[in-house]
Amino acid sequence: MQLKLGPQVPSSGVAENFLGVDWVEALDLGAVTVLTGADRGKYPHGNSLLVQGTHQNVLIDPSLTVAERGLSFPVDHALLSHVHEDHLPGLSRLPGVPVHCHEADAIGLTSLDGLMTMYGMPADMEKEFRQEILDDFYYAPQLEFSTFSDSEVFDLGGVEIEVVHTPGHTRGHCVFVIPQARTAYLGDIELSGFGPYYFDEWSSLDEFEKSIERCRSLDADHFVTFHHKWVISGREQFLAMLGDFANVIVNRELSMLEFLGEPRSLDECAAHRFVYRPHVEMKFVDHVELRSARLHLDRMVGDSRVTQMPDGKFRSR
C-alpha cells in the first residue's frame, strides 16, 4: 500500500548552512540526512533521520538532541520506528506536525499510562520512571496521530519510505528503507555488543530473533542505528555486525546452560547476571535480569534443553 503524506505541494529544502549550524556531525546520504545526536546517539540521545522528497520532509525518531537544539528547517511529518521515551522528545518541537507509528505501538502515544503499560515495570520503579519521562523526555500524549502497518510505503515525492515490521524490541518496532538513498534505518536494532533488548512487557525474544533474520535481506548500502553504531556503510560489514548482535542471545543461553550444570533456582540465575556485567549499578538491573532469566528458562524447558526439578530448580539436560 502506498500512502501520500498530506497535500502534494513543493517542500522547502533544508539549507546546508542550517545543518552546518545546528548539526555539525550531520551526515548527508542524498535524500537522507542523519541528524547525529549528542555523543553519537548514546542514550538518552539518539540519531534522527531526515528524509527529503520534492513534496514532503519527514523526520524519523525526533530525538532528545532535536528537543534540546530545536530545528531550523521545516518538517512536514514525524515517523516513529517505535514508541519509547527516547524516540519521542523532539515531538515537543513539532507542534501540529502529523505523527505516525505502527498500529501495535499506538497505545504508547495515547497516554502516559499507555506508555508505561509497554514497559511493564514494578510499581516502585514505574513511579520514578514516569516522572523521568515527563521531566527529561518532554512526554505529552498525542491527541491525533496516524498508524501504519507492515509493507506500507510513504511517498514524499520522488523519494519513498518503505515500512518493514520488525517486532521484538516492541510489538510495533519497524525498520524504514529509503531505496533512493540506499539506506535502511534500523531504529533500536542497534548492533551493539550489548545485544538485543527484549525485556519489556511489549517485547518478545522469539519475535526479535525473527526480525533479525528478516533484516538480513534488507536491500541497502547504508544502515543507520538510533544508538551506538551510528552509520554502517557496506552490506558485508552490516551482515557481520548483525550476526554478532544475534549471537549475543546464543551465547547468553550457552552460558546459562553451563551455569545450570548444577541445579539452580530462578533467583540464582537472575543474581548471576547474564545480561549486565557485575559492576553495573542501575535501578532496573535486577528487574531485567529476573525477566531475562525467566524468558530463557521457559524457552529452554520448552525445547528440552533444561529440565525443571520437583523442588522448582532448573538443570541443563
CATH number for the domain that contains residue 199: 3.60.15.10
Q: What is the pLDDT of residue 14?
A: 53
138 found inside a domain: yes
Q: How far apart are CA 308 and CA 152, in angstroms?
A: 44
My answer on whether 161 and 217 are in the same domain is yes
267 found inside a domain: yes
Backbone angles phi, psi at 228, to 5 degrees: 65, -80
Q: pTM (2 decimals)?
A: 0.94
252 found inside a domain: no
Count Cβ atoms below 10 Å from residue 46 Cβ, excluding itself.
32
Chain-centre distance for alpha carbon 187 = 4
Count Cβ atoms below 10 Å from residue 54 Cβ, excluding itself.
14
My answer on whether 183 and 269 are in the same domain is no
Domain residue limits at 40: 2-227
pLDDT < 50 stretches in the chain: 1, 7-12, 15-18
Q: Cis before residue 98, ω within 30 degrees of 0?
A: no
pLDDT digits (tens, 9 = 90+) for 162-180: 999 999 999 999 999 999 9
My answer on whether 23 and 72 are in the same domain is yes
236 found inside a domain: no
Beta bridge partners of 315: 307
10 found inside a domain: yes
DSSP tag of 193: T
pLDDT digits (tens, 9 = 90+) for 81-132: 999 999 999 999 999 999 999 999 999 999 999 999 999 999 999 999 999 9
Q: How far apart are CA 98 and CA 95, in angstroms?
A: 9
Handedness of CA 188, 150, 163, 237 (dihedral sign): positive
308 found inside a domain: yes
My answer on whether 213 and 137 are in the same domain is yes
56 found inside a domain: yes
My answer on whether 293 and 165 are in the same domain is no
Our count of domains for the chain comes to 2
Q: What is the pLDDT of residue 161?
A: 98
Chain-centre distance for alpha carbon 102 = 12
DSSP code string of 15-79: -HHHHHHH-TT-EE-SSEEEEPPGGGG-TT---EEEEE-SS-EEEES--HHHHHH--SS---EEE
My answer on whether 170 and 288 are in the same domain is no
My answer on whether 202 and 298 are in the same domain is no
* CB of 185 closer than 8 Å to CB of 174: no
My answer on whether 39 and 169 are in the same domain is yes
My answer on whether 52 and 136 are in the same domain is yes
My answer on whether 207 and 272 are in the same domain is no
Q: What is the pLDDT of residue 5?
A: 60
94 found inside a domain: yes
Chain-centre distance for alpha carbon 41 = 12
* CB of 221 closer than 8 Å to CB of 182: yes
My answer on whether 267 and 216 are in the same domain is no
* CB of 60 closer than 8 Å to CB of 176: yes
My answer on whether 139 and 219 are in the same domain is yes
